[in-house]
A and B are shown apart, each in its own frame.
Chain A
């Protein structure tokens, strides 16, 4: 437990040096911005950032600070002095978690690690069905590489950010622990599993230069990984690789690993501002779907939909980090809502429908939105008993109509007189309808695929993630710290959150991406924002000694 009567969060984190991986992702960015805003006494945050073909790691970070709405509060607070403020507290290191030692050379890695107090590992691939090669290198190897780096620290401490859904295909209460078994209940060796997966994926190698066979090879790898995942009780590649990473990390004896598992991360309640979101997250496509003419969502209304605002997750991670630095951390923390303030699917679906009504009532709504869509509400249905408006039935109907239309041969079907009069017109319309139906079929296929991916979480299983540990930490906070950093999910009013925060937030930040557009960014500065880089500090005597000993060994 954090005993903060004598030590506030500020004093625990003052002067500390933290290395962050995945700091340019959705959660990582909010956490860094929040920490820099609330705890200016923090020693240093070193961000491990990948460079791209067009940008160096530093320029990438500067662009994010300059244009990401996530950094608005910091920009507003510090104005033109933000570059200097961040320069005193932030360092950028070019690296890649997918590479050994996170892409750093031996000397740089050791030098960096020796000055660190903790590593917070956010980096991860959150697609449900990515190419297993990418998932292995980022979600599994990435975590191992972060731990390798941590092992070079004086006091090796790694905070690994994971997902609560590593629990796999189970229902009921989920404890804050890493089980010795896989979710299917069998004992298993994570290292052996990883080797087997890598070997199987390596066997599926496409011939060079062929795009079609590369796509086919990727499909085969996904099929292989899914089969292995399901055999062990994980529903998809994301939870499988995250689960394997957890098992590999907890088996290590050279690093003290603390795991923070979050559930479905959604729009911010307060920080950086209400509604902030980034990327296509889990509920975005569902929200969009339920606002359309789609009526029946296969889900169990009484099952819990464990959603947690991103800033609540970030507050939880700050608490866990403080507990870790004061050697009071538990091995695993859940950052979730299902045990203390559960939101059911039935309620989430209804609230989403009510938000869609608000949207369809707006002044510039089309007559179709205002007079039809507004009055249609989605309902949860069982996947075993699909209704007339379910996606498979709609798809089937569209396919049947299409088949029927394809069989129509205008020259033979129509009477000669009508054919002379309107034959080309009718033929043109038949072709047009067939094309539309094909397009609809493609869209429905995508929706069907999406629902298949979501099914384990929205239909098949009912999770109740225990959050005892994080509430224990939160309860020990002083009043001042609790004002900004308490894990306050119990106080969340889901109706207000869903209708006034989540809905507008997704509409602004997520829906444009679903339409193939870009989410809005803040305008660029003139002159462009630049981090005022601090000169590299001189090596401490201890660092020099350690490096000398390493050289001797070499």
Chain B
């Protein structure tokens, strides 16, 4: 009898690709159609970095909203085209060789590859074909009448929400949760890693490293 479907969940940022949200937002800002609007948009992204850095001002959610708010008023056509251009020029060359090997291994084990990302889908869509993934979960820019509102829409892929989404997805696919694997570099994904039977920390940040060491999860450094 054929085994039930199962999956490997990969956090894109830090695991498969370097973290890139600030550069990606800045890329969109400096490539707005109207030359005069480029500087204010870029200033918005720069301000968001102050709220991202560790310290008393740290507000990751506000920083994120501020950074991606720079696309407000930009057309959907432009966002898709610039997203693809950014992927081709900046992200594609940085996909780590070991990441490709990991994915290959997952596929060889009969796992479906599911990519999780907090970056807007316009940057991440080309990854599906590039890495032969089954699915991508990433937020989308909210579009009204062909123009971005500056807000992101889509499943929140942080903390316990990632677990809820992943379980639901497996159920929908009639898959087997017990055999699922998860790979991440973020402490925020410790919920997801602890929920699957085969967790793995890849290039972990400080928070995840501590948890991984305590729970004896495998740690991959590349």
Contacts and interface: CB of A to CB of B under 8 A. Distances in A.
A499 interface: yes
Contacts of B77: 347, 350-351, 354, 495
A347 B75 contact: yes
Contacts of A353: 33
A361 interface: yes
B80 A379 contact: no
Contacts of A495: 77, 80-81
B33 A377 contact: yes
Tell which of B31, B33, B75 has the most Cβ of chain A within 10 Å: B33
Nearest to B30: A375
Interface of A: 347, 350-351, 353-354, 357-358, 361, 375-377, 379, 495, 499
Contact of A376 (B35, B75, B81): B35
A499 B78 CA distance: 11
Contacts of B80: 495
B34 interface: yes
Given A358-B85, A379-B33, 15 more contacts: A347-B75, A347-B146, A350-B33, A350-B77, A353-B33, A354-B78, A354-B81, A357-B81, A358-B81, A361-B85, A361-B89, A375-B30, A377-B35, A495-B77, A495-B81
Main secondary structure on chain B at its contact with chain A? helix
Closest 7 CB pairs of A and B: A354-B81, A377-B33, A495-B77, A350-B75, A351-B77, A350-B33, A379-B34
A499 B81 contact: yes
A377 B78 CA distance: 11
B34 A350 contact: no
A482 B70 CA distance: 44
Contacts of B78: 350, 354
A354 B89 CA distance: 15
Interface string B57-88: 00000000000000000010110110001000
Given A347-B75, A347-B77, A357 B85 contact: yes
Contacts of B75: 347, 350
Task: With a 10 A CB-CB cut-off, give which of A350, A353, A379 has the most chain B CB atoms.
Answer: A350
Interface in B9-60: 30-31, 33-35
Contacts of A379: 33-34
Contacts of B85: 357-358, 361
A354 B31 CA distance: 10
B31 A375 contact: yes
Nearest to A378: B33
Interface of B: 30-31, 33-35, 75, 77-78, 80-81, 85, 89, 146
Contacts of B30: 375
A21 B31 CA distance: 49
A353 B33 CA distance: 9
A215 B80 CA distance: 50
Contacts, number: 30
24 contacts: A347-B75, A347-B77, A350-B33, A350-B75, A350-B77, A351-B77, A353-B33, A354-B77, A354-B78, A354-B81, A357-B81, A358-B81, A361-B85, A361-B89, A375-B30, A375-B31, A377-B33, A377-B34, A377-B35, A379-B33, A379-B34, A495-B77, A495-B81, A499-B81
Nearest to A499: B81
Nearest to A355: B81
Nearest to B81: A354
Contacts of A350: 33, 75, 77-78
B91 to A, nearest CB: 15
Contacts of A347: 75, 77, 146
- Greatest chain A CB density within 10 A among B34, B75, B77, B80 is at B77
B100 to A, nearest CB: 24
Contacts of B31: 375
A367 to B, nearest CB: 16
A327 B146 CA distance: 43
A163 B85 CA distance: 38
B43 to A, nearest CB: 18
A375 B78 CA distance: 13
Contacts of A358: 81, 85
B162 to A, nearest CB: 32
A290 B132 CA distance: 37
Nearest to B34: A379
A508 B35 CA distance: 30
A103 to B, nearest CB: 49
A351 B146 CA distance: 13
Contacts of B33: 350, 353, 377, 379
B179 to A, nearest CB: 39
Contacts of B89: 361
Contacts of B35: 376-377
A379 B75 CA distance: 13
A330 to B, nearest CB: 33
Contacts of A357: 81, 85
Contacts of B146: 347
Contacts of A377: 33-35
Nearest to B89: A361
A23 to B, nearest CB: 37
A353 B31 CA distance: 11
Contacts of A499: 81
Contacts of B34: 377, 379
> Which of A351, A377, A379, A499 has the most B CB atoms < 10 Å from its CB?
A377
A94 B38 CA distance: 61
Contacts of A351: 77
A499 B84 CA distance: 13
B32 to A, nearest CB: 8
Contacts of A375: 30-31
A350 B89 CA distance: 21
A350 B77 CA distance: 8
A297 to B, nearest CB: 12
A499 B82 CA distance: 13
